[in-house]
A and B are shown apart, each in its own frame.
Chain A
Amino acid sequence: GGYYYSLLNSQQSQPKKTVVVYASISEMTSADPSTEFSNSIMWLAFTYERLIYYDPIQNKLIPELAVSWERSQDNLTWTFHLRHGVTFHDGSPLNADAVIFSLNRTITLGQGAAFLWASVKSIEKVDDYTVRLHLNYPAPIDLIASAAYASYIFSPKVVQYAKASNATDPKISDWFNAGNDAGSGPYKLIKWDPKNEVIFEKYSAWWGWNATDYPLKSSSAPDIFTIKIVADAVTQENMLLAGQIQIAQQVPLEDLNNLKNNPNIQVVTKPSFQQLILLLNTKKAPLDNVLVREAIAHAIPYDDIVTVARYGYARVASGPVPYGMWGHSDQFRYSYNLTLAKSLLVQAGYPNGINRKLLLTYTTGDIYEKRSAELIQSALAQIGIQVDVRPLSWDEQWALAKSGWENPNNAQDILMFYWWPTYNSPFDFLYNMFDSQSKDFNLGYFTNETFDNLLSTAVTLEGSDREKATTLYLQAQQIIYEQVAGIPLWDMTYVIAASSSLSNLDMAINPAYPTVIFPQALSLKS
């Protein structure tokens, strides 16, 4: 024993590194900043940087890699002035070439959220630190440049590192997925085990540690930041209580009162842009009948669902655009009214309820969805609609739903899923879930020409006339509301439980970058 102890002490005599462990419910996905469109946002967001950082609460755009930007009168040209003295983790400098390389790669690969850049015609290098984007039609490039996906800038040297022939060579993707990063963010990736843990080390040469115009930082940020995959909320809570992790992404919400009373634990809540919504199969009987859809909308106990599913940590949704997002309105709530619902069903020609079990699918493993689905099941039973609630893996659920475009009768009747913004605009919600062109996510197969036209007009105005755009989006939402193409259930309030030894947590969380904790903003009390 003694031998080991002396060994141990000699190791500990070096100053101990500070560590923060963040438990994530889901596994990490891919590591390619151009194409990743899923869970890996959790770390891409601070390993890489965007041109602009967006604070949706104050609705403020904060300079990140770009110190300033301007758009032309016709809204078709955007010019970005890049920050000097920024280096990537490999030591190479950030300049116009790097930005152009990164954006071009993302756009050319065309995967993930690359569609955001659809308006871009070309990218021009003005000088070493100035980049100009030429557009086909007006688009909110400032918002797009600050998006959570497809907005990251990385070192062009990845071509050499990956021994690739050009920017779109799949070898680069392989190189990223082998656990390498080429970002400029405050933390660099040092271990990549996407199913178990991903570890980051502070990048001491980050420009932001000393920048005065950049608020998102802390002088006592942790040396090491670990994302640990803990697939279960109960375990996350236990580990947090035992001090084995410092931040829990999910704890059973019912436990929050206990946690709040615990001096070692803090609970941070923040409204989010994440919404749980039902998309109704508008092309399959009986839900092709708007009256039936309306009846369902009025038979759902929205408040109860929020209480049971989220223990109150959510707001009953009003329209597909979440609270806090521009273009949101409080006018689109359906009332919970069983008499109305029943009479609507009678009007629709179903006085004795529906003689077929409707299939509702949700993503397996998510307890909030599960509870919402089960409550809807028993609620709809009260107006004579039987529902078969079926949990499916996301891949399966998605594949089944997409098949509905070919044959709606084979698809589910009701699809329950989350939407959160790719970039911060009502367009992102409305287009993806309801536009007849959006075959990937319009999974209620809603087609409405007026609606489509309203959207296509509004989106071109986003960059120039925000107010006009807002009005058009509200009109579009009115159509969704009346047609009951989807039934938004609730907008989630993010709840993060963390050790009291952390401060500044509030700042490290940003609804525009869902699930991300920005470690550079954390302060670790000793």
Chain B
Amino acid sequence: MIISSRFIREYYEYLKKDKLGLTGAIIVMIFIFLAVFAPYIVPYPADAWGYAYNIEQRLQPPSLAHPFGTDVYGRDVFSRVILGSRFSLIIALGVVSIALLIGVVLELFAGYLGGRIGTFFMRITDMFLAFPPILLALLFAVVIGRGLLNLIISLSLAWWPWYARLTYVQVTTVKNMPYIDAAKIAGINTPTIIFKYILPNSLTPVTVQAFLDMGAAILEAAALSFIGIGVQPPNPEWGLMISEGWYLIGVAWWISIFPGIMLFLVVMAFNFLGDSFREFNNPKVRRLLESRGI
């Protein structure tokens, strides 16, 4: 399996040398920590969830009491930004795992069986690939409605074809490898071959892509929330907060700047991590990297 302890150990060793990847990993870890514990550690939980408002405190610039200032309802932007990480994490995990599941399972069988069925599934995948993913997500969001859950579903529905194609390509190469023939000759049954021989060896590019996509999913979800069809107020989703703060950009820049910075940092961290993971999995580049001591 790709997630073997050896693999993790090797990647850990590699990360220690890849400064960008390491930075990414650390930020991602902080982000996950925040997402999990946000409601318990933010200074103003009620503000964070959007239940409360405080007229006296409205539109305060950043200060000690409110490090990121307050918004138009006098809610603490810092608390909201921190809690926002929970939404982004749920989105990233939800979208990537659902899309991965659909894409991989579908094309694993399509790719292994090949022939007409394989082609048929690939054609369906191609149809979906004809849309820029975020627009397809927008289409689905419009059809199934707004809100966090619908957002995740829409994005997943738009995303799976990318994994499907990767898996398909990979499965069709892997299934022609001698070790698959060897397994067949040894009399190992088809389900075992698919799940133990083809799946783990087809997964690397998809996993790399999934890693890279975590950030992208967060970003696209934020974009959809920004145009109003994602997470709904008063929830503190970053894209939504940017959109709300945009109206006041002239007087209260902090309302949209801080969620933006947070969004940027987290997506960047995922990108760094994903990129380092990709280079780690690309032996050609890896050899070059190692030789340069990067």
CA–CA, A254 to B255, complex, Å?
13
Residue B53, interface by CB 8 Å: yes
Cβ of B226 to closest chain A Cβ, rounded Å: 13
User: Could you list which residues of chain A lie within 8 angstroms of chain B, going by C-beta atoms?
Assistant: 233-234, 237, 252, 254-255, 258, 301, 304, 307-308, 367, 370-371, 374-375, 377-378, 381, 389
Q: Are B52 and A367 in contact, with the CB atoms below 8 A?
A: no
Q: How many residues of B contact A (CB 8 A)?
A: 18
Are A234 and B249 in contact, CB atoms less than 8 angstroms apart? yes
Residue B51, interface by CB 8 Å = yes
Q: Assuming the A-B contacts A308-B53, A375-B73, are A255 and B233 also in contact, with contact meaning beta carbons closer than 8 angstroms in the complex? A: no
CA distance A374 to B235 in the complex (A): 11
Closest Cβ–Cβ distance, residue A251 to chain B (whole Å): 9
Q: Is B50 in the interface zone, CB < 8 Å from A?
A: yes
A residues near B52, Cβ cutoff 8 Å? 378
Chain B neighbourhood of A371, CB < 8 A = 72-73
Q: Does B250 contact A (CB under 8 A)?
A: yes
Asked whether any CB of chain A lies closer than 8 Å to the CB of B81, the reply is: no
Name A373's closest neighbour in chain B (CB-CB).
B233
Q: When the two chains form their complex, are residues B73 and A258 in contact, meaning their CB atoms are under 8 A apart?
A: no
Q: Across the interface, do B250 and A308 meet the contact criterion of CB distance under 8 Å?
A: no
The answer to whether B250 touches A252, judged by C-beta atoms less than 8 angstroms apart, is: yes
B55 adjacent to A377 (CB under 8 Å) = no
Report the minimal beta-carbon distance from B3 to chain A, rounded to whole angstroms: 42
Within 8 A of A (CB), among B30-85: 50-53, 55, 58-59, 72-73
In B228-263, which residues have CB < 8 Å from any A CB?
233-234, 246-252
Neighbour of A233 across the interface among B50, B55, B247, CB < 8 A: B247
Contact A234–B246 (Cβ < 8 Å): yes
- Which residues of A have CB within 8 Å of B248? 252, 254-255
Asked if B250 contacts A258 (CB within 8 A), the reply is yes
Identity of the chain A residue whose Cβ is nearest the Cβ of B50 in the assembled complex: A378
Closest residue of chain B to A391 (Cβ to Cβ) is B228
Whether the Cβ atoms of B50 and A254 lie closer than 8 Å is no
Residues of A within 8 A of B53 (CB): 304, 308, 375, 378
The one of A234, A237, A374 that contacts B73, using a Cβ cutoff of 8 Å: A374
Considering residues B73, B247, B248, B252, which has the most beta carbons from chain A within 10 angstroms of its beta carbon?
A: B247
Residues of A within 8 A of B249 (CB): 234
Chain A at the B interface: SS class: helix
Leading 3 A-B pairs by shortest Cβ distance: A254-B251, A255-B250, A304-B55
Give the shortest distance, in Å, between A419 (CB) and chain B (any CB): 25
Q: How far is the CA of A381 from the CA of B72 in the complex (A)?
A: 19
A20: min CB distance to chain B, Å: 23
Chain B residue at smallest Cβ distance from A389: B233
Q: A304-B55, A308-B53, A308-B55 are contacts. A377–B250 as well, Cβ < 8 Å?
A: no
Give complex CA distance A304, B56 in Å: 9
Query: 8 new A-B pairs (CB below 8 Å) besides A255-B248, A308-B55, A371-B73?
Result: A234-B250, A237-B250, A252-B248, A254-B248, A307-B55, A371-B72, A378-B234, A389-B233
Return chain A residues, CB-CB under 8 Å to B58. 307-308
Considering the chains assembled together, what is the distance between the CA atoms of A304 and B58 in angstroms?
Answer: 11
A367 to B53, CA, bound (A): 17
Query: A254 and B252 in contact (CB under 8 A), knowing A234-B246, A308-B58, A378-B51?
Result: yes
Q: List 30 A-B contacts (CB under 8 A).
A: A234-B250, A237-B250, A252-B247, A252-B248, A252-B250, A254-B72, A254-B250, A254-B251, A258-B250, A258-B251, A304-B53, A304-B55, A307-B55, A307-B58, A308-B53, A308-B55, A308-B58, A308-B72, A370-B233, A371-B72, A371-B73, A374-B50, A374-B233, A374-B234, A375-B73, A378-B50, A378-B51, A378-B52, A378-B53, A378-B73
Contact between B251 and A308, CB atoms less than 8 A apart: no
B-chain residues with CB within 8 Å of residue A374 when the two chains form the complex: 50, 73, 233-234
B38 to chain A, nearest CB (A): 20
Most A Cβ at <10 Å: residue of B55, B72, B248: B72
CA distance A453 to B41 in the complex (A): 60
Question: Across the interface, do A255 and B251 meet the contact criterion of CB distance under 8 Å?
Answer: yes
**Residues in A whose Cβ lies below 8 Å from that of B72:** 254, 308, 371
Which residues from chain B contact A308 at a C-beta distance below 8 Å?
A: 53, 55, 58, 72-73
Q: Closest CB-CB distance, A128 to chain B, in whole Å?
A: 55
Closest Cβ–Cβ distance, residue A471 to chain B (whole Å)? 38
Pick from A254, A258, A367: contact of B59, CB below 8 A: A254
Residues in chain B near residue A304, CB distance under 8 A: 53, 55
Q: How far is the CA of A389 from the CA of B250 in the complex (A)?
A: 27
What separation, in Å, do the CA atoms of A461 and B244 have in the docked complex? 49
CA distance A252 to B246 in the complex (A): 10
- In B18-37, the 8 Å CB interface with A consists of none
Which residues of chain B are near A237, meaning CB under 8 Å? 250
Residues from chain A with a CB closer than 8 A to the CB of B55 are: 301, 304, 307-308
Chain A min CB distance to B242 (Å): 13
Chain B residue contacts of A234, Cβ below 8 A: 246-247, 249-250
Q: Which residues of A lie under 8 Å from residue B51 when comparing CB positions?
A: 378, 381
